[in-house]
Amino acid sequence: MTSVPLQPPVPAHIAIIMDGNGRWAKQRGLPRLEGHRRGVESVRTVVDAARELGVRCVTLYAFSVENWRRPGEEVGGLMALLETFLHRETPNMVRDRVCLRTIGRTEELPSGARAALKAAMAATAHFTDYTLVLALNYGSRTEVQDAARAYAAAVLAGRASLDDAASWEGFSRHLYTHDLPDPDLVIRTSGEKRISNFLLLQSAYAEFVFTPVLWPDFGKAELIAAIDEFRGRERRFGQITEQLAAANAEAEAQRPADVII
């Protein structure tokens, strides 16, 4: 029996901008779609690793509202990969008790992708241990537009008050993510340093890690490195360091001296 100090917690919710599939393929003289196929393999690796590390929710930026501008062949290939992923991974998500969710205007996806999503979400809806969120046909600005429309409809129907808009809690209940925790950590792969219309409101107090690793090369080791960087950050939420130190000292005084493993 060994006594060890408590470690800083892992982030409860990690959101990832999966970038670099095309560049990964180009570096190897392969078609862009092959990069996306390899990126799908990283999805399973990272989701499994996050679950093993104690992360409760992972949100993946899988397809943005702007991605429709890409060549038709690539868009069609991405939708086919989505269907394949869902058909292949649904039994694994059931086995691992992972609840699948989506955010975005998924009603605009092709019928095959919608059907696969519906089946996968129905099969996993009752799980509460871990959540995988796929951001599909998602954009933060369109989310705000949809939330404002939903809020206005609720006011007209008498289900909400104009006063609700005066608080974040009142407005945020109309976002796609109304029943999900805000991300603690946002990771972007491939070396780009922007957030590309992804969870702009929800990431207000998130920590960001930008890594040069291309998404198909991003695995468990890279995830652990990002989490370690997160653990080394001081999250103040508008407070000052001294306030946090006092709160931490109080919490330390109230916990058991050791954790026994």
Report how far residue 167's alpha carbon sits from residue 194's, in angstroms, rounded to the nearest whole number.
Answer: 28
* Structure-token match 């699948």, residue found: 100
Render pLDDT for 2-30 as a digit per residue (tens, 0 to 9).
Answer: 333 335 689 999 999 999 999 999 999 99
Alpha-carbon dihedral angle through residues 176, 141, 234, 258, given to the nearest 10 degrees? 10
Q: What are the Cα distances from residue 166, in Å, to 143, 145, 172, 201, 249?
A: 19, 17, 11, 16, 34
Q: What confidence tens digit (pLDDT) does each residue in 188-197 have?
A: 999 999 999 9
Q: How far apart are CA 150 and CA 177, in angstroms?
A: 13
Q: Are 123 and 132 in contact (CB under 8 A)?
A: no
Query: 72-127 pLDDT, tens per residue?
Result: 999 999 999 999 999 999 999 999 999 999 999 999 999 999 999 999 999 999 99
Rounded CA gap, 256 and 150, in Å? Answer: 47
Q: How confident is the model at residue 258 (pLDDT cuts 50, 70, 90)?
A: very low
Residue 229 has pLDDT above 50, yes or no: yes
Q: Would you place residue 36 in the very low, low, confident or very high pLDDT band (cuts 50, 70, 90)?
A: very high
For residue 261, pLDDT over 50 is answered with no
CA distance 84 to 73: 16
pLDDT reported for residue 159 = 87
Which amino acid, one-letter code, is at 12?
Answer: A
Of 148, 146, 101, 89, nearest to 126 by C-alpha is: 101
Which residue's entry shows tokens 């005066």? Answer: 166
Sequence-separated (6 or more) residues with CB below 8 Å from residue 135: 59, 60, 61, 62, 63, 64, 102, 103, 104, 198, 199
Q: What is the mean pLDDT of residues 230-252?
A: 64
Residue-level pLDDT at 47: 97
H-helix or E-strand spanning residue 172: helix 168-172
* Active-site residue set: 19, 67
Strand, helix or coil at 252? Answer: helix
pLDDT digits (tens, 9 = 90+) for 188-227: 999 999 999 999 999 999 999 999 999 999 999 999 999 9
Region 33-42: mean pLDDT is 97
3-class DSSP state for residue 173?
coil
DSSP 216: G
234: buried, middle or exposed (CB in 10 Å: 19+, 13-18, 0-12)? Answer: exposed
User: Taking the model in full, what pTM does it have?
Assistant: 0.87
Of the candidates 179, 101, 164, 174, the residue with the CA atom closest to the CA atom of residue 143:
174
237, amino acid identity: F
> Are the C-beta atoms of 64 and 139 separated by less than 8 Å?
yes
Phi then psi dihedrals of residue 176, to 5 deg: -60, -30
Chain-centroid distance of CA 231 in Å reads 18
Q: At a CB cut-off of 8 Å and minimum separation 6, what does 97 contact?
A: 127, 129, 130
Residue 243's pLDDT band, with cuts at 50, 70 and 90, is low
Give the domain 11-260 fold: Undecaprenyl pyrophosphate synthetase (3.40.1180)
d(CA 35, CA 32): 5
